[in-house]
Homo-oligomer: A and B are copies of this chain.
Amino acid sequence: MILGALEAGGTKMVCSVGNENGEVHETITLPTDAPEKTLRQIIEYFSAKGIQALGIAGFGPLDLDRRSKTYGYITTTPKAQWEYCALLPIFKNALGLPVGIDTDAGAAALAEFELGAGKDVRDLVYITVGNGIGGGVIANGQIVHGMVHPEYGHFIIKPHPLDPNPDGFCPYHISCLEGMAAGSTFEKRWGMSNAKLPEGHIGWEIEAYYLAQCCVAALLILSTQMIVLGGGVMNRDFLYDMARSETVELLNGYIANEKVVEHMDRIIVRPGLGNDSGVVGALILAAKELGV
C-alpha cells in the first residue's frame, strides 16, 4: 500500500509517502505560506506519487464531525489566511482519493497507540510540548473527539510560587497550561529559549511543576495508562525525570497502583516513534480511510 501523509503545521508542511505500517519512504518540507500557493505545492507533490489515500495531521481547531457541512475544515485559527480553509475537501477533490484527517496531537496519539510507546495499553494521552501545547486522547482504544476535539493545552493550572509571570502568556486565558509551559514562554520569562536555558535553572523546576499538573490531570480525570510527552521542549531529556518526580509528589500516593508509585517511568514516557508520531499518525489515518 502506498499512502500519503501531510503534517500540516502553522510554520511548515511535512509531506511524506509511506505505508500502513508507518514506514516512511520519502519526505519533503514546505514553508506554510498563503493557502493557495502552499496547497497547490502539496497537491503537485502527492499527484506524482501514486498514493492510494492521504492522511492529514493538521493544526487546529478542525471540524472533525463527519456529519458536518464543514467536515475537515480548519475553523477559527488565529492564522487569518487559513481560517475556514476547506483542507480535506480541497485535497479530496484535487487528488480524487480518500482523505482522513485529525489534529496533529490526535494523529500523534493514534500513532503512539498503534505503533509506538502505547502498543500494550488501551488508554493513552499524547502531549506535545512545543511552541504551543496540544494533546490527543485515546480511551478504551478509541480516539476521543467529543464535541470538537481536545484542546489540552488550555485548561487552567496553579502558578508556581516562584514564577515571575503567574498569569502566563496565552492571549485567551490566564494561567492556562500552554500560556505557562509552552516553549514560547521561555524567551518571554527568562530571556532565553528552552534550548538554551541551563539545566539546574529554577525555570526547569517551574516547567516540571506545570507538566506534572498536566500529567496529574490525565491520571485523575482519565485514569490514563500512559502519558507520552513529545515536542521540542522535551528534547531537554532531564525534564522527563523531573516531571515524573513532581507527578509522584503531587499525587502523594493517592492512586493505589504500584505502577504509579514505583514505575512512573513506564507511565510518563518518551514517544516510541521519536519525532515521527505526527507523520506516522497521518499514514494511519490514510489507511483507515481505506478500511485497513
A residues engaging B (CB < 8 A)? 61, 75-76, 122-123, 135, 137, 139-140, 142, 144-159, 172-173, 175, 213, 216-225, 250-257, 259-260
Contacts and interface: CB of A to CB of B under 8 A. Distances in A.
Contact of A216 (B155, B219, B255): B155
A236 to B, nearest CB: 23
A252 B172 contact: yes
A251 B76 CA distance: 14
A247 to B, nearest CB: 11
Contact of A222 (B75, B222, B255): B222
Contact of A219 (B147, B153, B254, B255): B147
26 contacts: A61-B255, A76-B256, A140-B144, A144-B222, A147-B223, A147-B259, A148-B223, A148-B255, A148-B256, A148-B257, A149-B223, A150-B220, A151-B223, A151-B255, A153-B220, A154-B220, A154-B254, A155-B217, A155-B221, A156-B213, A156-B217, A156-B250, A158-B158, A158-B159, A172-B254, A173-B250
A241 B248 CA distance: 36
